[in-house]
Amino acid sequence: MSTHRPPEPGGASLDDTDRLLLNHLSRDGRASYAEIGLLANLSATAVRRRIDRLRSRGVVRGFTVVLDPALLGWQTEAFVEVYCRERTSPEELLASLRQFPEVVAAWTVTGDPDALVHLRASDTRHLEAVIERIRKEPGVQRSRSSVVLSQLIG
């Protein structure tokens, strides 16, 4: 997530110091408060209080480990455009997609398809099976898939 100079109409009101802290935490989510403080000319206590405040405001949702999908065995990746039936609500679609651990992310979108689904599978065989199962979900009418060739950014 970029922390670089966005307008904040929602009243988030981060100052440059907050941005500095978040920027460093996005590079090393386990950095100590003292280490972060060195960059911002702040004591570890002050850093901690700022991060706590950002956390309670919801700006910081949490911390996580960044894993290599390929080394975990997820070597094939695809995007599936999902076209729903007339009566399918986003809630129904969510309920359908949640079943699949292969679904990394999913969004409802404007345009021809109703949703865009990001999938990870172990190989093309596995990918085919997952797409087939998604197409058979009651709320899904049809789908159109693109296989990811390479990740340019992200």
Partner DNA sequence: ACTGAAAACTTTCTGCC
Partner DNA sequence: GGCAGAAAGTTTTCAGT
Of DNA, a copy of itself, none, which one sits near residue 77, judging by CB under 5 to 8 A according to partner kind? a copy of itself
Asked if 45 contacts 76 with a C-beta cutoff of 8 angstroms, the reply is: no
Tell which one of 16, 67, 87, 136 touches a copy of itself (CB under 8 A).
67
Q: Are the CB atoms for 20 and 40 separated by under 8 Å?
A: yes
Interface map 80-99 toward DNA (x if CB under 7 A): --------------------
CB 55, min distance to a copy of itself, A? 10
Told to check if 131 binds a copy of itself by CB under 8 A, we report: no
* 39 membership: H or E segment, kind and range: helix 33-40
Task: Please select the residue that binds a copy of itself; options are 16, 56, 86, 153, rule is CB under 8 A.
Answer: 153
Site for DNA contains 46 (CB under 7 A): yes
CA angle 94, 66, 6 (to 5 degrees): 75
Name the residue nearer to a copy of itself (CB basis): 77 or 137. Answer: 77
Distance (Å) of CA 122 to CA 17, 69, 73, 135:
42, 10, 6, 19
90 belongs to the binding site for a copy of itself (CB under 8 A): yes
Contact 50/17 with Cβ under 8 angstroms? yes
Compute the least distance from the CB of residue 147 to DNA, in Å: 35
